[in-house]
Structure 1
Amino acid sequence: MAAKTGPSEYTYDIFLSFRGEDTRKIFTTRLYSALVDAGFGTFIDDNGIERGEDIKSELIRAIHHSRGSIVVLSKNYANSGWCLDELVMIVENKKSKGHVILPVFYHVTKSDVGCQMGSFAEAFAVYEKRCLEENDELKRSEWLSQIQKWRDALTHVAALGGMNFTLQDEDEDEDEDDDEYATGFIQKTVQVIEDKLNRAVLPGAHEFVGISSRVKEINAWLHNGSSEVGILVLCGIGGIGKTTIAKFVYNLNYELFETSSFLADIRETFEKPNGLLTLQRDLLTDIRGEQIGVDNVREGSVAIKAALEQKRTLLVLDDVDQVNQLDAILGMRNWLIPGSRIIITTRNKSLLKPNEVYKVHTIEPLDYDESLQLFSWHAFGQDYPFEHYMDFSDWVIERCYGLPLVLKVIGSSLFRKSLHVWISILRKLEEIPPNKIQELLRISYSSLPDEHDKVLFLHIACFFVDKNKDYIVNILDECGFHTMVGIQNLINRCLLTIDFHLNLLRMHQSLRDMGREVVRQESPRRPEARSRLCHYRDSLNVLKFKTGTEATRGLILDMLFESRNNGTRSDGNDSTNLSYINLETDAFKEMKNLELLQLDYVHLSGSFKHLPKNLKWFRWHGFSLNSIPDNFPMDELIALDMSKSRLVRFSKQTKIARFMKILDLSHSLLLVNTPEFSGFPNLESVILRGCINLSDVHKSLGYLNRLLLLDLHDCKSLSKLPKTTVLLKHLHTLVISGCTNLHHLPADMNKMTSLKVLNADGIAKSNFLITQEDDIGSSDFCGVRSLMLSKPTKAPHVSSWASLPNSLISLSLSNCNLTEDTFPNDIGNFTSLKELNLSRNPLRSLPHFVSKLSRLHTLQLESCLRLRSLLGLPDIKSLVVSDCKVLKTITHVSTSSKLHYISDTNCSNLIEIQGLFYLEPLNKFPVEMLNNLGFFEMELFNEVEVNFQDGIRFSTRKRPLQLLYEFGIFSASMPGKHIPDWFSYKFVGSSFSFIVPYSISDIQIQGLNLSFVYAVSNSISNNDETWLPENKLFIKISNRTKKSQWIYYPTCFGIPELPESDHLLWLSHWTFRNEVENGNEVDISIITGDNFVVKECGISFMYHEQEEDIQNKYLSWKEVIGGDLTSFRLSTGSYYLCRTSFLRVYEEEEVTRPDDWTMTKWGRRLFDGSIDLFKEMQFMNRMGRNTRSCSFP
C-alpha cells in the first residue's frame, strides 16, 4: 500500500515527466492510471491546457510539491524545451531536498541520454545551431547557459540508473505480447517507485530548514572520487539533527550505489532481545532486496560479509553507541568493496579505534534565522511569528541555542495558544524543561560508562558552565575527581565542549537544563534532599527555613542575578540596592557534606563557625564585611573567590589555608593590603586586579613557591612590589598593567627564569630610567628600571634590558611613552619572544630590534599615531596596526612572508602592504604602464575627484582617481556613462557569459579587461540617509570549464553621487595566469547593493605578449589569482577575495554568530544561498585562518 503524505506537506506523491507524442497512448496514460489505482497522488500534464504562463507556473508548483518524479525518457524527449526545463527543476529539487527520481528509458539507452547520443545528439545540434545564429550577444550567452543546464540534467538522471522499456515493435499498434509486456512493466514500475518513496522518508517542507548548507560538505565527501572504503562519523548532542541529516544525505545518494541500507535506532534495537540479530536481518534485506532468514548472529555475519563483498554499498548506521555494536554488524572493514561509503551517527566521538581512517563531521546548531523559521513552523504553522509574538519568540530562540529538537518540541507546545498561555508556558519551561526533550537528551547522560562521569557532568552542569577549564580542574581534582579524564569522556559523548580560544568549558543550555533536571528529580518536592541546589527559589527556601541536610554537596544563591531579573540595578560593588533578605549562618549547620558554595551578594548574620568545614570552592561576590572573621572556615578550601567585596583588609589574624590554590579578591575597591601569605603555601594564582586602593603587597608573597600567576592589573595605588618577588621561581605570568603609581620593580628579575608573560601596559618610562652613573648594585630596585630607557640627552648612558629574563614569550608595553630610540641594543637577545605589544606609543618607525626577534609571530602597534612606516618586518604571522592614521607603507624582510592576519582599520594614509595591496592616485602611474593594462586616455581625468568607499579606513570621501592593485587585479573608478570603444565585447545588464576566443597566432590569454557602468538606483532619493551601508560591489567570475570561481570585493571603489555624478565607470585588469585559457566557458556577474544598478558591461582580452610589460613588482606577489589564495578559499572551493572586515563590529561586541538579517540576506544573494556565513568562519578557523582576514558581507 502506498504511503501518502498529508496535504500540508506535499500536494502530490509523483510528478510524471514525459514527451506526449512518444508515450502518451501506449504507456504514460496507463502508468498514470496504475499509480492512481495504487493510491498515489499523481500529477500529469493535461495536454488540453493551453501552453503559456499559467501551465508553466502550474508545472513548477507541481514539481516542488511532489515527493518524487517518474521521468519517461523517449527518443523525442530532448526535442521539447518544456521537457528539458522540467527535468532541470526535478534534478534541482533532488539536490536541494531529496526529491525521488525514477528514470524510465523508453526505447533509448542510458548512454543515449547521459552522453546525448542518437536522437538526443540531433536535438542538441538544433539548439546549438540556433545559439550560433543568434546575433544578440546577451541572448546567445543565455542560450549557451540553458543548453548546458539541459545537458547536465540529462547526465545526472542517466547516472541514477532506472528501468528499461523496450518493445519488439515501437509502433503504437501493439499486439497482445506487447500489451502483456507493458502491463507487467508498469506494475513493476509502480512497485519500484513505491519502494523508493517508502525508503526515502521525506520530512515536511519545514523540516528542511537549514539542512542544505549542512549536507554540502557531506555530499562532497561522498563524491570525492576516492576508491577507498570511506567512513564518516556524524557527531553531535541528542536532538541536533544527526539522524535527519543522515536520512537526507541517504535519500540524495542511495541511487548512486549498487546497494544501500539505512539502519535506524541501532542503540535502541541493540538493547532488545535478539536485537543484534534483528539488525543483521534488516541489513541483509536491504542489500539483497529480499527477506533473508538467518537463525543466529554468526550465520548473519557470514551472510553480511558475502553480500557486502559483491556490490558497492552506501551504509548508514544511525545512533551507534558502543564499539561492539559496530563490530558485530560490520565485522571487518575490508568486507566492503572499493568505493563503498559508511555513515555513522553517534553521540560518542571515541567510538572508532585510533588506527581507523575516518572523517569526523560535527553537526552545528541552527543559526538565528534558521531557528526562528523552524520554531515558527511549529508554533505558528508558517515561517515567521505572528504579530505581537516576536519578542516571545526571540526569548525561546535565545534559550534553544539552535537545537532543532528543542525548537520543535517547544514550538509544538505553543501552537494555537493565546498570549496569556504563552507567558504561562514559558515561565514553566524556564524551570522545568519539557519531558520529551529530557528523555532524548538524558540518553547521552545515562549511557555514561561509570558513576564518576555522571557525577562530574552534574557538577559542571550545576556550577561550572562557562568557567575556565584549569580553574575547574584545580577545584574538582581536590574533590576526588579525575577531572581531565572525565572532561574528555564528556566531550567524546558530546555533552561538553571546550572553547580553546578562551579555555572555557561550554555546555549546550539544553544539556545544562537536562543535568539540572536530573538533580531536581532526585527529590521533586523536597529540595533539601537533593545533591545540588542551583535554582534561586529552592536555595533561598532551604536557607531561609533552615531545612538543609547532609545530602547536599553544592549550593548556589545569587542575589544579584535575581535582582537583575526583577529590574533592580546594581553595579556589583554596591549591594545597597539589592533586595535585603536576612539569612543566618546556622542554616548551614546540618549541611555537613557541602563542598561547593556560591553566595553572591548574600548577607549572612551569625557565627561563621556554622559554615561547612569541608568546603572546597567558596565564591562570595559582594562579601559585605570589611575583614574575614576569625572563625571563617578555610581549612579545606581550594579556591576562594571574593571579587567585588567590601574588604578593607583580608583578616585581623593570619589565616591558615594550606590547600588553597586560587585566591581572587579582584575589584575589591576598599582593599588596602593583602593577606600575610605564609598560611597559604600552595597558592598558584593570586588575583588582585582592579583593587584601586591596594597600596601594600605583603613580603611573604615571595615565599609562595608554587605561584604561577600574579595579577595586579589596575592597582593604581601600588607604588612598589616586595623585594622578595624575585624569589618566585615558578611564576609564569606577571600583570602590572595600569599600575600607574608603580615606581620601582625589584632588582634581579632576570633570575626569574620561569617568567613567560609580562604585561606592563601604561607604565611611564620615566619611572624606570637608569643612567651610567647609577650604581646598579646599590639599590634593590634599580635592576629593572632599565625596562624602558629614554634617549640620553647628554653623555651616553647605560642602555640595557639585562634585568628582564630572556625566557619571556609575551611582552606587552602598550601606552608606555616609548619611542624607537628608547630601546637598547640587547633587547634583540630575547630570542624566545613570540608576542610583542607596543601599541599606543609615539613610535615613528619600526624599532630596530624587532627584526632581530627570530621567533616573533605577533606584533601589535595599534593607535601609534606618529607611526609613518614599517619597513623590514620580520617573518611574523599577525600584525595589528589599526588607527595608525599616518602609516603609509608596510614591507617585509622576506618576500615569502607568512603574514596571514592583519588588522589595519582606520589607517587613513596607508597606500601599500607589500604582497597584499597597493593604492595610489592614478596620475602617479606611468602612462605607458596604464596603456599596457588597457587603461587609455587616463590623463584626461587628472583633475577629477570621485567619492570613494575605502574599506581600509572604513570611510567614504572625495579623492583624486585611485588605482588599486590586489589579488593580481588592477582597478579604478571614474565618471562615465558608456563602456569605452576599445572594449571588444559589450553586454547590457549585470551578467553575461562567453567563450574565451583563440588569438590569431594561437597565443594563450593571460589577462582580461573588465568594465561596467553603474549608477544610483532609482529607489534612492537625494536625501536618503539610510543608503550608505548598502554600498556593496562584488564581481563574480566563474570558469565553468575548470570549475573555478572568484568572488571579488574591491578594497576601494567609487560611489555614484546624487545628483551630479550619478554614473561611474569601473575599469579593471585581471591577471589570470593559467586559471583561464583559450576556449574556456566563463560567466561574469556584477552584484551590487540596493543603492546601485549596473547598466552595461564590457570585456576585452590581453594575450601573453601584451602582458610582459606590466611591472614585475606586482606580478611577483604571492596572493594573486593563479598564486597562493589558500587564505581566501571557502569550504565550497570558491575564492572570496576580500580584505575588508565587515565582521569587526561583531568581534568587538563578542557576538558568537552573525545574526544580523542584512548580512545573512547578503550571503544568500552573493553565494546563491550555498554557504552559511558562520560555518565559513568556523571553517577558516579550522584551517588556521582568522576570520577577520577574509570577511563576509
Structure 2
Amino acid sequence: MLYIIQSSKFLFCYLLCRHESKIIQEILERISSELNLIFQSTISKELVGIESRVMEMLDLYLVEGSGGVRFVGICGMGGMGKTTLALEIYERISGGFEASSFIADVREKTINHHLVSLQEQLLSNILKGSRKNISNVFEGINVIGNRLRNKKVLIVLDDVDGEEQLEALVGNHDWFGSGSRIIVTSRDNHLLRRRGMDDIYTVKGLNNNDALRLFSWRAFKKPYPEENYVDLSKDLVNYANGLPLALKVLGSLLFEKRIDEWKSTLYKLKQEPDSNIVNILQISFDCLMDTQKDLFLDIACFFKGENKNCIRDILKSFGYYPDYNIDVLMDKSLITINREGTLLMHDLLQEMGQEIVRRESPEEPGRRSRLWLCEDVLHILKNDTGTEVVEGIMLNMPIEAKEHLSAKAFSKMKNLRLLKINNVKPPQGLNRGHIQLPQGLNYLSNELCAIDWHGYPLKSMPTSFQPNKLVELRMHCSGIKKLWKGIMILNELKLIDLSDSQNLIEIPDLSGVPNLKQLILRRCTRLYMISASLGDLKELIRLDLNGCKGLKSLPHKINLEALEIIDLGGCSRLKKFPEITGNISHLSELCLSETIIKDLPLLLEHLTNLTKLDLRECKNLSSLPNAMCSLMSLKTLNLSGCSRLDKLPENLGNVEGLEVLNVSGTGIRGLPSSIILLKNLKTLSFSGCDFLLSKPSNKLLNFPLFQRSPNAMGMLMHTLSSLSSLRDLNLSYCNLRAVPDVIGCLSSLTFLQLKGNNFASLPKNIIQLSHLKTLYLCGCMDLRLLPELPLNIKYINADGCMSLETLPIRPEDDFRPCLSLCNCMKLINNQGYNDMFLTMLRRYIQGAYLGYEYFLIPGSEIPKWFSHQSVGTSLNLQGPLDFMGIVVCAVFIFRKHRPLPTTPWGFTHYLHFSYNVMGSEISDSHGIIFHEQSGPGLEVTKCGARLVYKQDIEDLKQTMAGSSRCSISPYEDDLDYSAKDTKIKRSRDDFDGDEAGPSGEATNSEVDIPHPKRIRLPNLIERFIPHLANWIGNSSTQEGDSNCEEEKSQ
C-alpha cells in the first residue's frame, strides 16, 4: 500500500489555500449570480444586517483561511441571530463541499433524543443514504471519525451547550478531510474556547438603522415606518437592544394595530425599567387568545420539531383549530415552519413558554399542566404526586436507566390528554432506559388523545381504559399480546402502530374503529391472525405488515377504497393475496417481497395509480400477467431474486413511465423487443442472469435490431442502445464472454457494473460514455487490458482482475480516477504501471489535486525510492524543515486463522497512522506509527517514508519527460517479487463460512479478492499539512459502492 501526504511550510500553505479560496469564491459568485433575486429579496426583508456578517465570516474564517480543517464558532446571546447567520452561510457555500449537514437545536435534541440520534442524522446527511443505525455513542464516534476522514465536508451544529455534544459529533480536526469546515453556534463562549475553535465570531446586536428597518418590515411590511409612527417606532426599537428576535416579535405584534395599542405596548415596557427580551416576548404571548396560548405552550413543551401534517389530527382533537391558529402564531413571529413542514420555535420563545408552565407550580411538578423534563416526570410517577392539573407528559428516559413504577402511577391524572414515553431498547442488546410496571397498571385517563409509549411492558391495557377521544396509538416494542377484547368503540382513532411488538398474536375486531387510516404492525413476528373486520375499514390508507413472519393469511375479501400503500414484504408464510373489491385506484405502492405467492392478484390491471411494485425474492413466482403492461403510472418494478421467473411480458414497453427495473437473480435471459419504448428508464439491473445459456426467441430474432446479433447479450445491448435515459446499468455475474461495442451508445450512463464476468477486454468506444462516473470490474479474472476511458470517470474498481496487465493512464493525460486494484499482480511487470506511479506521485506532490484520491498498489516490498524503511509499524525520519511533502508506504498481511468480519457500514478494518514532529528550526525528527483500530485481523510488516523536497519534484518532471526506464522507479530491482504478503487467495471450494484458510488466508465464497484496508490520518498531520491525498484500496468503504463479493441474486 502506498500513501502520499501533501505538506508545506506556512508560506507555501498560504499559496495553496489561496488557490482553494479562489475556487470557493468562484462557486459563491456563480451561486450569487444565479440566485441574485432570491438573495436580495431575502436579505432586504428577513435578514436585515446579515449580509455584512456573512461576508465578514467568509472573508476572515471560511474562505481565505488555510486549506486544512477549520472549526469556527459563532457566539452570542439568545435572539441575536446566530442560527440565521449559520444557516445563511450554509446555504451559500454548501455546494463547494462533497457533502454537508446542518443539525439544528443540538441542545434540545440531546435532551429528547440522545446523542446517538444526532450521530445517525449526521451520517445520513453526509453519506446521502438511508438513516444509519448506531448502537451507542462510542460506535458513532468510531463510525463518523472513519467514514468522514477523507471527505471534504461542511457541518453546522446549531445551539451547542455541552462538550459531550462536540465530542460525539465532530470530535477533532482529524475526523474530516482537507478543506472541511465545521461551524458551531453556542451561547457559551467559554465552551467554544475550551474546545479549541480555530476562530470565534461574536455576533453583536443590530445598529439603530438596521434595527428600525427590521422592525418596520414586520410592523408596516416596508423598510421604514409610517409618518405618524416614527417616534413610537424608535422608542420601541430602543427597548429591543438590537436583538433581531425581539424586533421581529414586537413588529409582528403591532402590525395593523391602532396607535393607542402601540402606546399601550410602550407603556407596558416602561413599567419594567430593566426590561429584557423575555419581558418583550411575554407581551406578545399575553395578547393571544386562550386557545392560541395553549397551542403555543404545547409546541414549546412537546411539538417543536414535529411535522405539522403529522400532528394535525392530534391538535384538532385538543380543540386547537390548527389550520387557523398555527397561522396566527406564524404571523406573530412566535413560530416558523420550514419547507418540510416542520414546526420551529426560537429557543428563547421556547424557554419563555416552558417558564410560563413552570410558574404554575414552582415547587411541585405534579401541579403543572405540562411535564417534559425527565426528573419532573419521574418525580410525580414514583411519588404519586400527579394531579388533575396534568394534561401532557413527555418522558425521554436516560440511557441505561431503569425505573419500577406502581400500578397507581397515573391514577390521579384524570385530565391527561397526551402521553409520550420514549422507552426503546437499541439494537444489539444494549441497555437503554426502560419503565417496568411489576404490579401492572390500574388506570389511564380516558381523556387521552395520543399515546406514544415505546416499550410498554404489559400484555394488555388497563381494563377500565375506554379512550373514546383517542386519535393515535403508538406502542413500538411493546409487550402487548392483544389490544382489547370484543369490540371497542373508538370513532376518533386514526392510527395504530404496534411495530416490533413480539408478543402480539392477533388484531382484535376493528369494526368499532371506522375512521382508522393507518395500521402499522411491522416485524410483529408472532402475529398470526387479523380480524375479518379489517376488510371493512373504508378510510384505511396504509396497511403495513412487513416482517410479520407468522402471518399465513389475510381476510379473504377486503373492501378498502382509500388504500394507498400495502406492504406485506417479509410475510414469508403468506401464500395468497386477498381479493380486494370496490374501487382501488388510489393504491400507489404494493410490496409482496419474500412471500410465497405463486400468482399476482387479478386486480392488477385496475391499479391505475400504482407507482411501485416490489416482488423481491418471491421464489414461487413463475410468470407475470399481461395485465401488468397496463400500469401506466408504474415507476419502479423490482423482481430481483424471483428465481423461477424466466421472461417478462412482451408488452412491458407500454409502461412508459417505468424508471427502475431490477431482474437480478432471475431466470430471465433477455428483454422483450418493446423495451425500446421505455424512454424514461434510468436504472436496469441484470446481475446474476446467465446470458451464456440463453437462446433468443423467434419473435425477437425477427426484430430488425437483433438480426446482426448472434447471442443474447448482443441482442440485449442492441435493445438497450435506444434507451437514451439509462444512467445505471448492472450486468454483473452474467457470464459475459464479451461486451458488445454498442455499449458506447448509452450516452447517459453514469454507473456501470460488470463484476464477475469472463471478458478479456472492454470495447474501445466505451470512451464515448462522457457521463460515466463509476465503473465496477472486480472479479473479472480474464480481463487483460483496459481501453482509454472517459476523462470524467471518478472511480474504477478492478479488485481481483488477476490477468490485468495494462491501465489506460498515460503521463500526459489529465486522467485521475480513484483506483482499487487489489490482487492485480500482473500490473507490477508493466512499465506503464511504473509510469503511472510516477505520474500520480508528481501530481500529488505538486498539489495538483484538492481533496483526496486513493489507490491500492500491489506489492510486498517497500520500493527502494523510500529513503527511510523499517520492519514493523514505526519509523523515524530526519531532515530539513523545508520539505514539500511526505510519502508513506506500508505492507500488511492478514494474520493467520483470523476471519474478516464486516459491519453494516461496509468496511472491515481500519489501518491508521499517526505523525509527530520534534525538533528545532534547523532539523526535525518525524515519527510515523501505524496501528490497527478495529480488530486483530491484519498486521503491518514493513513501512517506509520519504521527505520530498523541491529538487525531488524537478527530478520527477525530468523523469517523466525522459526515458521510461528511470532511476527512481518504485519497483526497481523489485519486479521479481513474491506476492505472498498481499495476495490472499480465497477459493470458493475451500470456503467454510467461519474460518480462515489453512495458511491463514482469509476465505470468501466468490472471487479471489483480498479485503483491502484503508489508512486513516489523525489530527496532528492536518494541522501541519493542508492538502491530504491518500492512496487507499478499500472500495467497500465508499458510500453507494456495492460489495464485490455480493451474491449473484442481489
- With CA pairs under 8 Å and 6+ residues apart, which has the higher RCO, 1 or 2? 2
Q: Which has the larger radius of gyration?
A: 1
TM-score, normalised to structure 2's length?
0.49
